[in-house]
Amino acid sequence: MAQIATSDFKNGIALKLPDGLFTVVEFAHVNPGKGQAFVRTKLKSVRTGAVLERTYRAGERLEQAVIEQNDMELVYIDGENYVFMDTRSYEQTEVPRQTLGTAADYLVPQMTATIRVHDSEIVGVDLPASVTLKIDETEPGVQGDRVSGATKPATLETGKTVRVPLFVNAGDQIVVDTRSGEYIARA
């Protein structure tokens, strides 16, 4: 594998550490008056999203990881497996639901997502900032119950439950923020 010196760090570079795969979120070269220079970093786990702070000696070499990003379309869901098709090669790949994490709450067939791959192993999924989904089930809004900002639970076609305003009904299409899981607007 390719080695990278701490002096060559840039935001977004992927590193293969004993703890797993990490990307550099933030780094600072520190040159104290006394002693050796060092690099203070903030690293984010590619799989879990956990953030670590690490300090490395200046010039120290670490193993760089290559993470490919492929645009793939969800073809269908087969039980606990999601079948994606590469939009360029038309090759199909089965991905277990637990690998997708919370992204599975927003995926429906014919939706395109960016799949991150390292050594032919899927390590993550990037979704658009918002997606349009259909509401399968929700209680009807009660006439006269118009308290400012009142919301009710609604179950989306993916099975995820979100809070929506009282005027939204079953069968409506809504826009949901994939980062926070909150209702944005009616589509």
Fold of 68-126: OB fold (Dihydrolipoamide Acetyltransferase, E2P) (2.40.50)
Q: Do 3-63 and 130-186 fold alike per CATH? A: no
pTM listed for this prediction:
0.73
Question: 104-117, pLDDT tens digit by residue?
Answer: 899 999 999 998 88
Question: Which listed CATH number (2.30.30.30, 3.40.980.10, 3.90.1170.40, 1.10.3720.10) goes with 3-63?
Answer: 2.30.30.30
Classify 130-186 by CATH class.
mainly beta
Domain map of the chain by residue range? Answer: 3-63, 68-126, 130-186
Of 141, 118, 114, 132, the residue nearest 65 (C-alpha): 118
Question: 4-61, pLDDT tens digit by residue?
Answer: 998 889 998 999 999 889 999 999 999 888 889 999 999 998 877 889 999 999 889 9
When pLDDT is averaged across residues 123-145 and rounded to a whole number, the result is: 84
Q: Is 43 exposed, middle or buried (0-12, 13-18, 19+ CB in 10 A)?
A: buried
Q: Provide the edge-to-edge strand list for the sheet that holds 151-156.
A: 161-165, 151-156, 130-138, 173-177, 183-186
